[in-house]
Amino acid sequence: MTPAARERARVRTPLLLASACAWAILLAGPGHSALLHGAHGAHPAHHAQPGPPAAPGDAPWAALALGWAIMLVAMMLPVLGAPVRHVQSRSLWSRRGRAVAAFLAGYGAVWMAAGVVLMAAALALRASPQPRLAAGLAATLVVAWQASPWKQGCFNRLHGHPALPAFGVRADLGAAAFGVAHGFWCVGSCWGLMLLPMLSASGHLAIMALVSLWVWAEQLERAAAAGWALRVPLKAGRIILAQARLRSLRARGASQGLLRNQR
């Protein structure tokens, strides 16, 4: 393994472990129920009965916020490897931990604020006279946004990694500001995808998993000219196939070498 690959693994491993822990919490139920029952009704009983949910003022907003935070950790941490490596590489060794913490705090603050809007939208859709029709129209809007030049513009900005101050309070503020900026463009790129699990009356975790894979695959794509186009992230599939073929060739070579040695 090359030094660059080791560095990528050193950053990627804790992010993936934290994401896996969040997925385990979602699978266990509390965070998942708090978020999605809130989106489809303030109490599980409302989830099983037709009709609008409780008013937003009656919804368990603390539980919704906790559920949204767990959802963000599960779905978004795996795609933060590149910006976290940038923060680390531009920070003094003694300040790397606090710089990454400042970046994640800024990034998370933007997504938590966006969560208020998205959860309010989900509640409003649920409270409409035709919730299925409203959800379908919202899903159509999400697809249109995915194909829009504004979505591509936001995605392109995610590839920008600015210079960061190295010393004092300016270093902390610079890392936090980078987190806020990266979070802003990430919300612009992914808000529709993050709304999709809350639009469905069932299969929330499956939709979350599919969205997570889509977001991860998108991050592997290069920046492109902003225009109307429904872009499918295929690079991830090509990488997986190439890695599988390489491992197959290595295994075949090892097997042939073993046979020659036995002869």
DSSP state at residue 159: T
pLDDT of residue 202: 79
pLDDT of residue 62: 82
- Please give the share of the chain, as a percent, with pLDDT higher than 90: 64
- Distance, CA of 83 to CA of 96 (rounded, Å): 13
- Distance, CA of 94 to CA of 103 (rounded, Å): 16
pLDDT of residue 257: 65
Same domain, yes or no: 186 and 207: yes
- Across the chain, mean pLDDT equals 86
Same domain, yes or no: 145 and 201: yes
Q: Is there a contact between 121 and 128 (Cβ–Cβ < 8 Å)?
A: no
Max CA separation in the chain (angstroms): 78
DSSP state at residue 43: S
Which of 38-47, 54-63, 96-105 comes out lowest in average pLDDT? Answer: 38-47
Start-end of H helices in the chain = 3-28, 30-40, 44-48, 61-76, 81-89, 96-127, 131-146, 149-157, 168-199, 204-219, 235-262
Residue 249 pLDDT more than 60?
Answer: yes
Same domain, yes or no: 42 and 103: yes
Burial of residue 87, with CB atoms counted within 10 A of its CB: 0-12 exposed, 13-18 middle, 19 or more buried: buried
pLDDT of residue 64: 86
- Distance, CA of 99 to CA of 92 (rounded, Å): 9
- Gyration radius of the chain over CA positions: 21
5-14 mean pLDDT:
91
Same domain, yes or no: 87 and 200: yes
Contacts of 44 (CB under 8 A, 6+ apart): 33, 37
Tens of pLDDT, residue by residue over 29-55, are 744 445 555 554 444 444 434 433 333
Same domain, yes or no: 25 and 81: yes
pLDDT of residue 36: 54
pLDDT band at 93; cut points 50, 70, 90: very high
Same domain, yes or no: 197 and 242: no
Same domain, yes or no: 255 and 223: no
162-172 mean pLDDT:
95
111-116 mean pLDDT:
96
Same domain, yes or no: 12 and 24: yes
Same domain, yes or no: 24 and 136: yes
Give the count of domains, the chain: 2
Same domain, yes or no: 260 and 151: no
11: tokens are 């950053």
Tens of pLDDT, residue by residue over 222-241, are 999 999 998 999 988 888 88
Same domain, yes or no: 94 and 49: yes
Residue 151 pLDDT more than 80?
Answer: yes
- For the chain, the distance separating the N- and C-terminal CA atoms, rounded to the nearest angstrom, is 32
Residue 122 pLDDT more than 60?
Answer: yes
Tens of pLDDT, residue by residue over 196-222, are 998 877 788 999 999 999 999 999 999
Domain region containing 217: 3-232
159-166 mean pLDDT:
94
Same domain, yes or no: 57 and 132: yes
Q: What is the pTM of this model?
A: 0.85
Which of 42-56, 108-122, 243-257 comes out lowest in average pLDDT? Answer: 42-56
Backbone angles phi, psi at 11, to 5 degrees: -80, -40
Task: Tell me the residue type at 161.
Answer: H
